[in-house]
Amino acid sequence: MDDDEAIGRSLSGDLSAYEVLVARYSVLAHRTAAMLGAGDEAEDVVQEAFVKAFRHLASFRRDAPFRPWLLRIVANETHNLTRSRGRRSELTAKLSMTADGRAPDDPEGTAVATDRRARLLAAVKTLPERERQAVVCRYFLQLSEAETAQVLDWPLGTVKSATHRGLARLREEVGRDLA
């Protein structure tokens, strides 16, 4: 069942059709919440986001993709959580060691990859919030600029400039660490 069919059936009261959407997007929603700062509370954020998405499904534009719409709800719920905490959010995502998600075969390669990953995550955590959100959406969640703009509810130009500034800061920070 594709998203359009699942949404249509959900709007008709078929809860099992909505369960298909929850199953399809649950992992991505959790990753989004965690990477945007929900940390240990990602499960609660995602659950609340799926409840809100269901309640507001009738307002979903059927000609738009579901994924960015849902992730925007997740991002808003995460923002509400981190704002209510009154402290800077934590990034809890883990990066793959290699592009295919497998660890390098040699111990030295594993150590180097782990060190690089730790330095990158530490550098991302120090970015100003807007730059961190843009970089996380674009490169950790692999969203397009348009999807990032929709998820964060920002103009496209803001996404581009925040991503550019964030990447420049990361290059500077990581470059300084490697020197």
Question: Quick one: pLDDT at residue 109?
Answer: 64
- Whole-angstrom Cα Rg for the chain: 18
Please tell me which residue, 96 or 77, carries the higher pLDDT value. 77
What is the mean predicted confidence (pLDDT) over 29-50?
90
pLDDT digits (tens, 9 = 90+) for 51-75: 999 999 999 998 899 999 999 999 9
Q: Where are the alpha helices (DSSP H) in 34-155?
A: 42-55, 66-85, 107-126, 129-135, 145-152
The full set of domain ranges for the chain reads 3-85, 107-178
Question: Quick one: pLDDT at residue 178?
Answer: 52
pLDDT digits (tens, 9 = 90+) for 114-164: 777 778 888 888 899 999 999 988 888 888 899 899 989 999 999 999 999
Query: Which residue type occupies 41?
Result: E
CATH of domain 107-178: 1.10.10.10
The pTM score is: 0.59
Q: What are the φ and ψ backbone dihedral angles of 56, each rounded to 5 degrees? A: -105, 15
| DSSP conformational letter for 175 | H
CATH of domain 3-85: 1.10.1740.10
| Among 175, 75, 81, 64, residue whose Cα is nearest residue 132 | 75
